[in-house]
């Protein structure tokens, strides 16, 4: 739920940023085009007053064509997103053709007396539109070359240095303006993309945190459920079975019944793990079986299992089972205690690395002065070494004993 809320709350911000950039580009294109068309209208009035037209029919046709096309262009810009490439290409071609045609309908004096007598501002607006709409260097430079060809077409029949310099100045103005706009919009889109990437990282991190939180909550629910069941078993059948298995007043007079009650009580302790990661696996069941044998001797085994693999090699399972049984038997024979803790854990970062520990708080002994018996040397240490594992004994007089079984070593 948290990840969904986070994504829903962040995504509209990034989408809105891209929409705003497109809106800015569209607004600049529209404003620049309206402004340049107004300048063209003023130049028509000035040319008419200065009697600058030599071919009124050609001039009128050119202006009407440009006006009709710009009506189409402005409509497409205002209502289509993104602006179709065909519309941008048509705009470049119409403007370049008009720039090449109009000078044939004007007098030479018109270029000297009237400000922007041809379509210079419109050509700049056209280059800006391509740059802002495409954010492409290739499209921008291509549009500028086509527009430059339109302005230079009139000088091909009789090239004149001053006129060529004037055209170069016009083309340079167009190129610089279009390139600046292209650089601006590319940087703006780059910032938006960086924000997108950062936002996606934030969303992903929040989803991971939410997933871990959900997983932890699920594990805790599982743990509390296991704890509730464990308490129910402890307060009910486990208490009864323990009492029946004992030799006190509540103990059953039949030795066979006491033995079975002890085994059943041990099984219940083993199959109700006290850890949220505890599950029934081949190893945990094998260790419970080892505890069954010692439970009939009055030794109460407390189990703790976590992260154990579902399966493991049979020979390793057999070694753990019998080495643990021998360690429990030693507790029953020598420790002088009625309780022992049996822990089986697997390292989360290994594949696999399992440790089984048998710990008692009994009499203990000094390994430095006490000779280890056959059971420890052969049934525990040698048995684990045969399957690539290891065993360790840690004991102190009066402080109990710990037997660690590891696989692999």
DSSP string for 34-65: HHHHHHHHHHHHHHHHTT-BS-HHHHHHHHHH
Integer CA distances (angstroms), 175 to 36, 119, 153, 171, 178, in order: 16, 15, 17, 6, 5
30: pLDDT strictly greater than 80: yes
Task: Tell me which of 156 and 349 has the higher pLDDT.
Answer: 349
| Distance, CA of 141 to CA of 151 (rounded, Å) | 15
Instruction: Give the pLDDT of residue 332.
Output: 85
Integer CA distances (angstroms), 194 to 45, 200, 247, 264, in order: 49, 10, 76, 64
Confidence of residue 12 (pLDDT cuts 50, 70, 90): low
Integer CA distances (angstroms), 188 to 21, 135, 137, 195, in order: 8, 10, 15, 11
Task: Work out the mean pLDDT of the chain and round it to a whole number.
Answer: 81
**pLDDT (average), residues 299-320:** 86
Confidence of residue 5 (pLDDT cuts 50, 70, 90): very low
275: pLDDT strictly greater than 80: no
Q: What is the sign of the dihedral through the CA atoms of 220, 223, 227 and 229?
A: positive
Instruction: Give the pLDDT of residue 262.
Output: 59
Q: Decide if domain 272-407 falls under CATH 3.30.565.10.
A: yes
| Distance, CA of 200 to CA of 205 (rounded, Å) | 8
Radius of gyration in angstroms for the set of CA atoms belonging to the chain, rounded to a whole number: 45
| Distance, CA of 16 to CA of 22 (rounded, Å) | 10
Q: Has this prediction a pTM greater than 0.85? A: no
Confidence of residue 109 (pLDDT cuts 50, 70, 90): confident
**pLDDT (average), residues 9-30:** 76
Task: Tell me which of 286 and 267 has the higher pLDDT.
Answer: 286
Q: Of all residues in the chain, what percent carry a pLDDT higher than 70?
A: 77
Instruction: Give the pLDDT of residue 274.
Output: 53
Confidence of residue 72 (pLDDT cuts 50, 70, 90): very high
Do you find a cis peptide bond into 82, omega within 30 degrees of 0? Answer: yes
Instruction: Give the pLDDT of residue 147.
Output: 92
Tell me the domain boundaries of the chain. Answer: 2-203, 236-270, 272-407
């Amino acid at each position: 739920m948290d990840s969904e809320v986070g994504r829903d709350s962040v995504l509209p911000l990034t989408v809105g940023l891209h929409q705003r950039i497109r809106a800015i580009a569209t607004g600049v294109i529209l404003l620049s085009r309206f402004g340049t068309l107004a300048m063209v209208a003023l130049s028509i009035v000035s040319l008419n007053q200065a009697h600058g037209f030599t071919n009124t029919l050609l001039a009128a046709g050119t202006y009407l064509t440009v006006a009709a096309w710009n009506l189409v262009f402005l409509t497409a810009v205002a209502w289509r997103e993104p602006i179709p490439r065909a519309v941008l290409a048509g705009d470049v071609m119409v403007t370049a053709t008009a720039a090449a045609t109009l000078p044939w309908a004007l007098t030479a004096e018109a270029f000297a007396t009237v400000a922007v007598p041809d379509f210079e501002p419109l050509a700049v607006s056209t280059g800006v539109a391509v740059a802002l709409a495409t954010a492409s260097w290739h499209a921008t430079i291509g549009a500028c070359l086509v527009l430059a060809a339109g302005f230079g077409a009139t000088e091909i029949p009789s090239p004149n240095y001053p006129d060529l310099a004037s055209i170069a100045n016009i083309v340079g103005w167009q190129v610089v303006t279009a390139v600046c706009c292209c650089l601006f919009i590319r940087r703006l889109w780059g910032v938006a993309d960086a924000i997108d990437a950062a936002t996606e990282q934030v969303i992903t991190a929040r989803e991971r945190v939410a997933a871990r939180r959900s997983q932890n909550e699920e594990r805790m629910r599982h743990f509390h459920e296991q704890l509730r069941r464990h308490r129910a078993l402890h307060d009910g059948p486990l208490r009864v079975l323990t009492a029946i298995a004992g030799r006190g007043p509540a103990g059953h007079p039949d030795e066979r019944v006491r033995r079975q009650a002890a085994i059943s009580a041990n099984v219940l302790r083993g199959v109700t793990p006290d850890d949220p990661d505890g599950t029934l696996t081949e190893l945990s069941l094998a260790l419970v079986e080892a505890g069954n044998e010692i439970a009939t001797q009055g030794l109460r085994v407390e189990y703790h299992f976590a992260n154990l693999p579902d399966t493991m090699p049979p020979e390793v399972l057999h070694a753990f089972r019998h080495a643990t049984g021998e360690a429990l038997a030693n507790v029953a024979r020598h420790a002088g205690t009625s309780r022992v803790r049996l822990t089986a854990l697997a390292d989360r970062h290994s594949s696999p690395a399992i440790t089984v520990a048998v710990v008692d708080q009994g009499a203990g002994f000094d390994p430095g002065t006490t000779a280890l018996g056959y059971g420890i040397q052969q049934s525990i240490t040698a048995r684990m070494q045969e399957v690539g594992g290891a065993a360790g004994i840690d004991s102190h007089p009066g402080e109990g004993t710990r037997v660690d079984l590891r696989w692999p070593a």
